[in-house]
Amino acid sequence: MNKNLLFLKRKKAKELHEKGWSNRKIARLLLTNKGSISKWIKLNESETLIDNRGWKKGFPRKYTLEQKKEIIQIRKELEKENSYFIGSEVVKKNYENQIGLKVSKSFVNRTLKEACMVKSPQKKRKGLSKYMKYPQRTLTKLGKSMMSIDFIGPKYLHGSNEGVSFLSCKYIRPQKQGIVKRVTGQTTEQTIKILKEIWKDNPIPDVIKADNDSAFGTNLSHDKCIGKLALFFLNLGVTPLYIAPRSPWNNGENEGFNSVFSKKFWNKLQFTDEKEIDVKIKDFNIAYEKYSNLISNNPETNSNAKYIDDYTNINLENKHVNKFKTHIIYFLRIVRRKNEKGSNKEYGFIEILNQEIKMPKKLINLFVFCTLDLKSKRLIISSELDDGSLKEIKSIKFNIKNIIY
């Protein structure tokens, strides 16, 4: 296309857009595509007269070759410091802090890729959670602060048959902090001990997300009973959220953090014994805190935040529902199929605290969001609609046996 004609088309596109024409209609008139129109209408007066077509290959249009060299140098310096975190986001933030200029993540990533300093990430499959009616918008509205917990391991030291386990704790909001602590076993007692240590200096969250491990308070041997950890949470005012069984991606924040821990810490370093692990894991937690503050711009801790020392006079094993600081427990569940598909006996079901609850066939393979109210002794089962609201499907009487009403 002639350069002057290109400039005229851009100018005309902006004029028609201001008159209320749609991009499709403008594209038809100017004999071009909608993608070009959407770009042109965003240009300012001077940008409409710039033609970057035919730019020499290998030379950046917006950035300079000197900036490329600076970005590569920052990456090399991070490697010399044996930093745990040296990815594109970290390099970008360090560049902006040191040089004082803004650059795009795509430019940094492209520069590092050209220098063979990064690998191309695998493409993620999108759309599955939406298809299954995963209640993402509901989860984002649960409490002002949320944390997730998970066990890592057991992992094994060279020449040892005794496994080493860790408790992984990931703040989801408003901070993005991650903390890993070694535990002597994947038990309720160790979980409570580590959380008490963490919550001395880090705020207690409103909601805590966990899987259905027996140590976390579900899948107990008795029907309709909750475990010691759930009682610990309820007495602190922390609402437990138990994810769907066999669906670790429901706890994706923690799974991602666990992957970082394995890749950057366990697989990268060598240890002689557990004492050395404890020393080096402190460095990892400090490094991750710096990384999180750099990348996520973590906000200041709320002045109203609570810490474990604020609950010194409270019985954290109390079973009286009227003394709980919260009386709600959340469950995410996938409706499973019972009996042969298409048969007269086919129906859907979910299982909560070893109690099977019948569900409509049309919900099979879809998510439901369950709210257990200990005070009213009711379990409300809902699904999330397209607008983010919850539609109640079922409400049943649900009495927890080891709670005193």
Contact criterion met (CB below 8 Å) for 331 and 370: yes
Query: Looking at the predicted structure, is the pLDDT value of residue 324 above 90?
Result: yes
pLDDT at residue 221, as a whole number: 52
CATH for 127-298+311-405 (3.40.1280.10, 1.10.1040.10, 3.30.420.10, 3.90.1150.10): 3.30.420.10
pTM score, whole prediction: 0.77
pLDDT digits (tens, 9 = 90+) for 45-78: 777 777 666 555 555 567 888 888 899 999 999 8
Query: Looking at the predicted structure, is the pLDDT value of residue 300 above 90?
Result: no
pLDDT at residue 106, as a whole number: 87
Query: Looking at the predicted structure, is the pLDDT value of residue 364 above 70?
Result: yes
Mean pLDDT rounded to a whole number for the chain: 88
Amino acid identity of 242? Answer: Y
254-257: long-range contacts, CB 8 A cutoff, minimum separation 24: 254/148, 254/149, 254/150, 254/168, 254/170, 254/209, 255/150, 257/168, 257/170, 257/178
pLDDT at residue 232, as a whole number: 95
Question: Sorting pLDDT into bands at 50, 70 and 90, what band is 171?
Answer: very high
For the ranges 54-68, 172-186, 208-222, 291-305, the lowest mean pLDDT is seen at: 54-68
* 320 three-state secondary structure: strand
Amino acid identity of 36? Answer: S
Query: Domain residues of the chain, as ranges?
Result: 3-49, 65-114, 127-298+311-405
Query: Mean of the pLDDT values across residues 305-317?
Result: 93
